[in-house]
Amino acid sequence: MSESDNNKLTPTIIKDMRVPTPSTASRTYKDAINALNTLQSNFASIEAIKKLGPDVNKNEMSLREVYEYTRRLGYQPKDFNRMNLIHVTGTKGKGSTCAFTESILNQYKSSNAGPINKIGLFTSPHLKTVRERIRINGSPINELKFTKYFFEVWDKLSTTESSVTEFPTLQPSNVVKPMYFKYLTILSFHVFMSEGVDSAIYEVGVGGQYDSTNIIDAPTVVGISSLGIDHTFMLGTTIDSITWNKTGIFKKGCPAVVSDQLEYPESLEVIKKRATELGVSRLEIVDSNYLPSNVKLGLAGDFQRLNAALAIKLAATHLQKLGVPPSELPDFDNSNTLPDKFLNGLSETQWSGRCQLIEREGINWYIDGAHTLESINVASNWFKSTVNTNHQPNKGLKILLFNQQNRENANDLLKKLYENISSTEFKFDHVIFTTNITWSDGNYNSDLVSLNSSKEQVDKLIIQKELAEVWSKLDQKNGYNSRKHIFHDIETGVNFIKSLTNDSPIIDVFVCGSLHLVGGFLVVLDNERD
Ligand SMILES: Nc1ncnc2c1ncn2[C@@H]1O[C@H](COP(=O)(O)OP(=O)(O)OP(=O)(O)O)[C@@H](O)[C@H]1O
């Protein structure tokens, strides 16, 4: 899950969503966000769901709810096929893969007779604004459109009744709404259909089989990026059960492209078995050799080569299905170069918060939302090697800005980071732990409000104190002594770091541990208070 978009957990919580919303004429973007935020699962309900563990009945019911809401909006999943959907899952790299794919397709966009005129992209979670999740032609939809479509869905669901009585959340006459992630999924279909999108890329929220996006009926192609152990309370604890869930997006008669599974090669057996069972038309496993060595990628980090290779195959399969002539597509059998449109698409790809470097006012901010062991590994390697290429490792101040609020293995993530980075010539001078609260007055930007975390834990900085303790012990063991700081909010942390420019001409800051931290950080850095 995108990190812990815990709002993707949903199913059987009975909740009355009758929130007061302003009259139609005066509805603003903020009203939409406030209404959307009422659909977030709170900490207690998330804990209750986690305790239930993977439960097939609950999961099936959750997906059937999406079909029902879609029907109430006036759509059949088959209607969405006309948007030519690409569906992508994976444990790591699915967002980047979608971004590469979108950027390649963008090169084939034409305003006249071509098959691609408008490209939709649905991803999660968001960094700065919810609108990032629903993009058209590379840009998040604007506030006006978001508000309009948001309330169209809201009103429709408030005035239609469910024909199904068996779902606890769907009693007739109830005006209940889907929970946060489901709502955004349904909203995205409505937006893309209304806006005339003709190629759409969908990133799965969690897993695949029971994910809200899996009402997709006949994608042009599906993709699976690197698999790993994550979201075990929903997907099971073994790589087999996780792979089974992810391969749930395979569809009869549709081709599937899968990244070579370097971390868990055994998952390929499950993938092949499921491909046969579910009747995919062609299964391809791609490795980074598909990428000519001279290709320049817009996204940093060696691991992106594998994601880019997957994206190339996804885009090529999609374009071929849409009737783009072979002369304009890669010739994988006979050539080890790519058409210019592919090369441009790959080099122009942008995806914030993943191995992103921002140099501003004497500070180098190295930003990555890594929040699994594998991604902490790749992100910290990227940080270390990029600092090392920019200047001598022992020059300047090195600072870590870290948080991981919701994951049980937060301490392990921090330990992994420590092991990867710390060495005699490379150690952090300051280590800062904050909550994900955006501003020093205790407020979040509305788009960043999170009900997923325990208020008590946040108020008392329980997790941050634990993390600082973990770091101290590791420092003791290794004979280091970095300065630890605990701050209640991101803004205070950033201001503290900025104050250190007087002490050193070079400051390298690694911002890591959570996409929520990264989103709040980017808002603070750009001072985008709402
Ligand atoms: N192929 C990969 N192998 C290992 N780690 C990766 C890979 N691709 C991305 N990552 C790591 O995962 C982070 C998130 O990348 P990305 O958004 O592409 O993945 P995702 O699957 O969408 O993750 P999430 O669901 O958490 O958003 C990156 O910042 C990087 O640290």
Q: In this predicted model, what pLDDT tens digit does every residue of 479-530 receive, in sequence order? A: 999 999 999 999 999 999 999 998 888 999 999 999 999 999 999 999 999 8
DSSP element (H, E) containing 368: strand 363-368
N-terminal to C-terminal alpha carbon distance within the chain = 27
Residue 277 lies in a domain: yes
Domain termination residue (choose one: 317, 348, 379): 348
Q: Same domain for 239 and 372?
A: no
Whole-angstrom distance, CA of residue 277 vs CA of residue 325: 32
- pTM (two decimals): 0.91
Q: Among 348, 373, 405, which residue terminates a domain?
A: 348
pLDDT at 162: 67
Looking at the CA of residue 307, tell me the nearest atom of ligand 1. Answer: 1
Are residues 262 and 366 both part of a single domain? no
Model confidence at 233: pLDDT above 80? no
Distances from the Cα of 115 to the Cα of 262, 295, 493, angstroms: 35, 26, 48
Instruction: Specify the pLDDT at position 69.
Output: 93
Residue 279: CB atoms within 10 Å: 11
Q: Is residue 86 part of a domain?
A: yes
For the CA of 123, the nearest atom of ligand 1 = 22
**Angle (nearest 5°) at CA 241 between 237 and 243:** 115
Q: Crossing angle, helix 56-73 and helix 180-195, to 10 degrees? A: 40
Query: 454-486: per-residue pLDDT in tens?
Result: 888 888 999 999 999 999 999 999 999 999 999
Residue nearest to atom 17 of ligand 1 (CA): 95
ipTM over 0.95: yes
Q: Do 401 and 311 have their domain in common? A: no
Q: Among 1, 88, 92, say which to mutate for ligand 1: greatest number of ligand atoms within 8 Å of CB.
A: 92
Task: Note whether 405 and 451 are same-domain residues.
Answer: yes
Specify if 96 maps to a domain: yes
What is the distance in A from the centroid of ligand 1 to the CA of 213? 19
Ligand 1 closest atom vs CA 368? 29
Which residue has the CA at smallest separation from atom 26 of ligand 1? 2
Helix and strand totals (H; E) in the chain: 17, 14
- Whether 19 and 38 have beta carbons less than 8 Å apart is answered as yes
- Is 442 a member of any domain? yes
In a domain, 124, yes or no: yes
Residues comprising the binding site for Mg(2+)? Answer: 124, 203, 231
CA-wise closest residue to 258 among 208, 194, 199: 208
Percent of the chain residues past pLDDT 70, beyond the cut: 88
For the CA atoms of 360, 294, 100, 252, the dihedral, rounded to the nearest 10 degrees, stands at -160
DSSP state of 302: T
CA distance 107 to 278: 32
Atom of ligand 1 at shortest range from CA of 92: 21
How remote is the CA of residue 106 from the centroid of ligand 1, in Å? 22
Instruction: Output the CA 7–ligand 1 centroid distance in Å.
Output: 19
Distance of CA 39 to the CA centre of its chain: 19
Residues flagged as binding site for ATP: 354, 368
Look at the chain and report how many structural domains it folds into.
Answer: 2
Judgement on whether residues 343 and 360 belong to the same structural domain of the protein: no
Model confidence at 90: pLDDT above 70? yes
Whether 303 and 386 map to the same domain: the answer is no
- If asked whether residues 304 and 381 sit together in one domain, one would say no
What is the whole-number distance in angstroms between the Cα of residue 160 and the centre of ligand 1?
39
3-state SS of the chain: helix, strand, coil percent to 5? 45, 15, 40
390 and 313, same structural domain?
no
Whether 196 and 213 share a structural domain = yes
In this predicted structure, what is the pLDDT of residue 307?
97
Domain of 76, CATH number, reads 3.40.1190.10
Q: Which pLDDT band, with edges at 50, 70 and 90, does 23 fall under?
A: low
3-state SS record for 427-466:
CCCEEEEECCCCCCCCCCCHHHCCCCCCHHHHHCCHHHHH
CA of 96 to the centre of ligand 1 (A): 7
In a domain, 74, yes or no: yes
Last residue of a domain, one of 293, 318, 348: 348
Of 73-87, 167-181, 192-206, 232-246, the poorest mean pLDDT is in: 167-181
What's the angle, vertex CA 412, arms to CA 408 and CA 418, rounded to 5?
145
| 246 to 26, 61, 409, 423: CA distances (angstroms) | 42, 18, 22, 38
Instruction: Report which protein residue has its CA nearest ligand 1's atom 5.
Output: 375
How long a stretch of residues is the chain?
A: 530
Given this model, what pLDDT does residue 235 score? Answer: 87
Q: What is the extent of the structural domain holding 245? A: 29-348
pLDDT digits (tens, 9 = 90+) for 350-403: 999 999 999 998 899 999 999 998 899 999 999 999 998 877 766 889 999 999
* Average of per-residue pLDDT values in the chain: 89
Q: What is the CATH number of the domain that holds 464?
A: 3.90.190.20
Ligand 1 surroundings by CB, under 6 angstroms: 1-3, 90, 92-96, 225-226, 303, 306-307, 354-355, 368-370, 374-375, 378-379
Closest ligand 1 atom to Cα of 98: 18
**Ramachandran region of residue 395, left (φ > 0), alpha (ψ -120 to 50) or beta?**
beta
In this structure, are 457 and 386 located in the same domain? yes
> How far, in Å, is the centroid of ligand 1 from the Cα of 301?
11
Distance (Å, rounded) from C-alpha 330 to C-alpha 465? 52
Closest CA to 250 of 270, 229, 228: 270
pLDDT at res. 43: 66
Angle, CA 513 vertex, CA 510 and CA 517 arms, to 5°: 85
> What are the structure tokens assigned to 174, written together?
């109830």
Q: Are 369 and 518 in contact (CB under 8 A)?
A: yes
What whole-number distance in Å separates Cα of residue 124 and Cα of residue 222? 17
For residue 20, being part of any structural domain is answered with no
Confidence of residue 54 (pLDDT cuts 50, 70, 90): low
Tell me, yes or no, whether 179 and 296 share the same domain.
yes
